A and B are shown apart, each in its own frame.
Chain A
Amino acid sequence: MSDSIISIKDAVVSYREDVALRGVSLEVNSGEFVGIVGPNGAGKTTILTVLNGIGKLRHGRVRVLGQLIGNGNGNGHSLRKRVGYVAQAQNIDPRMPVNVREVVMMGRYGAMGIFRRPGKADWKIVDEMLDLVGMTHLSSRPIGHLSGGEQQRVAIARCLAQKPEILLLDEPTASLDWRAKSDILELVRLIHDTRGLTSLFVTHDLSALPVACDRIVLMKEGLIWSQGTTVTQLTDEKLSALYDIPIDIVRRRREQEITA
Chain B
Amino acid sequence: MDFSIFGYQFMQNAILTGVLGGIACSVIGVFVVLMHMPFIGVCMSHAAFAGAMLGLWLGFDPLIGAFVMSLLAAAIVGPLADRGELNPETSVGVIFSLMLGLSFLFIGLMPGTKSTALEILWGSILTNTRGDIILLAIVAVVIVALVLLFFKEIQATVFNRDMALSVGIPATIILYGILFLTGATITATLRSIGGILIFSLILNPAAAAYQLTYSMKKMFLLSALFGVLSSLVGLFLSYYFNLPSGATIVVTSSLIFLAAVVFSPKRKVKRWQQKPVQETIT
- Size of chain A's interface in residues, with CB distance under 8 A? 38
Within 8 Å by CB of B155, from A75, A85, A106, A112, lies A106
Instruction: Give Cα A99–Cα B217 distance, bound, in whole angstroms.
Output: 12
A-B residue pair count with CB separations less than 8 angstroms: 86
In the complex, residue of chain A having the shortest beta-carbon distance to the beta carbon of B211? A95
Q: How many chain-B residues does the 8 Å CB contact rule pick out?
A: 34
Residue on B nearest A86 in the bound complex, by CB: B166
Does A109 contact B169, Cβ atoms closer than 8 Å? yes
Identify which of residues 135-193 in chain B touch chain A, using a CB-to-CB cut-off of 8 Å: 149-150, 152-153, 155-156, 159-160, 162-170
| CB neighbors of B among A102-126 (8 A) | 102-103, 106-107, 109-112, 114-115, 117-118
The stretch from A62-70, A76-84, A171-179, A215-223 touching chain B is A76-84
- Interchain CB contact under 8 A, A80 and B165: yes
Shortest A130–chain B CB gap in Å is: 14
User: In the complex the two chains form, is A115's CB within 8 Å of B149's CB?
Assistant: yes
CB distance from A190 to the nearest CB of B (A): 22
Instruction: Choose the segment among B233-241, B246-254, B265-273 that binds chain A (4+ C-beta atoms closer than 8 Å).
Output: B265-273
Binary interface encoding of chain B residues 214-240 relative to chain A, with 1 for a CB under 8 A from any of its CBs, else 0: 111011000000000000000000000
**B267 (CB) vs chain A CBs: closest residue:** A95
Whether A145 is near chain B, meaning CB under 8 Å from some CB there, is: yes
Asked if B31 CB lies within 8 Å of chain A CBs, one says: no
* B163→A96 contact, CB < 8 A: no
Contact between B152 and A97, CB atoms less than 8 A apart: no
Q: What chain A residues lie within 8 Å of B156 (beta carbons)?
A: 106, 109
B34, CB-defined interface residue at 8 Å: yes
Q: Is A137 an interface residue (CB 8 A)?
A: yes
A87 and chain B: residue at smallest CB distance: B162
Q: In the complex, what residue of chain A is closest to B214 when comparing beta carbons? A: A142
B199 at the interface (CB under 8 A from A): no
| Cross-chain contact A97 with B210 (CB below 8 angstroms) | yes
Report A196 CB to chain B, min CB distance, Å. 20
Whether B219 contacts A97 by the Cβ 8 Å rule is: yes
Looking at B150, B167, B169, the one whose CB has the most chain A CB atoms below 10 A away is: B167
Interface residues of A in 187-234 (CB under 8 A from B): none
Please measure, in the bound complex, the distance between the C-alpha atom of A88 and the C-alpha atom of B159, giving whole angstroms: 16
Closest CB in chain B relative to A224 CB, distance in Å:
23
- Asked if A54 and B165 make an inter-chain contact with CB atoms under 8 angstroms apart, the answer reads yes
Q: Are A80 and B272 in contact (CB under 8 A)?
A: no
Q: Are A106 and B269 in contact (CB under 8 A)?
A: no
Whether B159 pairs with A106 at a CB distance below 8 angstroms is yes
Give 1 or 0 for each of A122-155: 1 = CB within 8 Å of chain B CB: 0000000000000001100010110000000000
Contact indicator A78/B153 (Cβ below 8 Å):
no
Q: Are A114 and B150 in contact (CB under 8 A)?
A: yes
Q: List 11 A-B contacts (CB under 8 A).
A: A75-B170, A78-B168, A79-B168, A80-B167, A83-B166, A97-B213, A97-B214, A97-B216, A98-B155, A106-B163, A109-B153
The 6 closest A-B pairs by CB, nearest first: A110-B168, A81-B168, A85-B166, A80-B168, A110-B167, A142-B214
